[in-house]
Amino acid sequence: MIRVLLAEDHAIVRNGLVELLAEAEDVEVVATAADGEQALASVAELRPDVVLMDISMPVKDGIEAAREIHATNSDASILMLTGSNSRSDVDGARRAGAAGYVTKDRIASELIDAIVEIAER
């Protein structure tokens, strides 16, 4: 079972993703976070396999949170989630230690496949 921490600031999107991921056989959402600070605290406490994290969040954005998660030598792989296709966002996410990047316009199966792929690295 792949343990996922979901960090997304929009409650309706976060709740929809939790429901979507609950249908995947190998994925379990162990916690959710509404901002980067909450994500950091949950990663330290729960040690998820994958952090599925929005780039744009209040308090601490996804790129900064990814940088800090990566710097702590966490075993969690980070999969960035965003509505943006901006090259600078992709590059910023990679530099921060994200293992992958998925846009919100993807279908559910592509998101689940990306989570499984990131977890198996």
Q: How far apart are CA 46 and CA 31, in angstroms?
A: 8
Q: In this predicted structure, what is the pLDDT of residue 13?
A: 94
What are 99's two structure tokens? Answer: 């293992």
Q: Any idea what the CATH number is for the domain that residue 58 is in?
A: 3.40.50.2300
- The answer on pLDDT for 2 being more than 90 is yes
Give the sheet arrangement for strand 77-82, strand by strand: 27-33, 2-7, 50-54, 77-82, 100-103
* Residue 115 covered by a domain: no
Q: Which H or E run contains 3?
A: strand 2-7
d(CA 40, CA 80) in angstroms, rounded, equals 14
Residues 6-59 have pLDDT tens digits of 999 999 999 999 999 999 999 999 999 999 999 999 999 999 999 999 999 999
Identify whether 120 is part of a domain. Answer: no
Q: In sequence order, which ranges of 23-61 are alpha helices (DSSP H)?
A: 36-46
pLDDT in tens, 88-106: 878 888 899 999 999 888 8
Q: What is the pTM of this model?
A: 0.93
Statement: residue 117 has pLDDT above 90: yes
Tell me how many domains the chain contains. Answer: 1
Do the domain assignments include residue 64?
yes
Domain that holds residue 71: 2-108
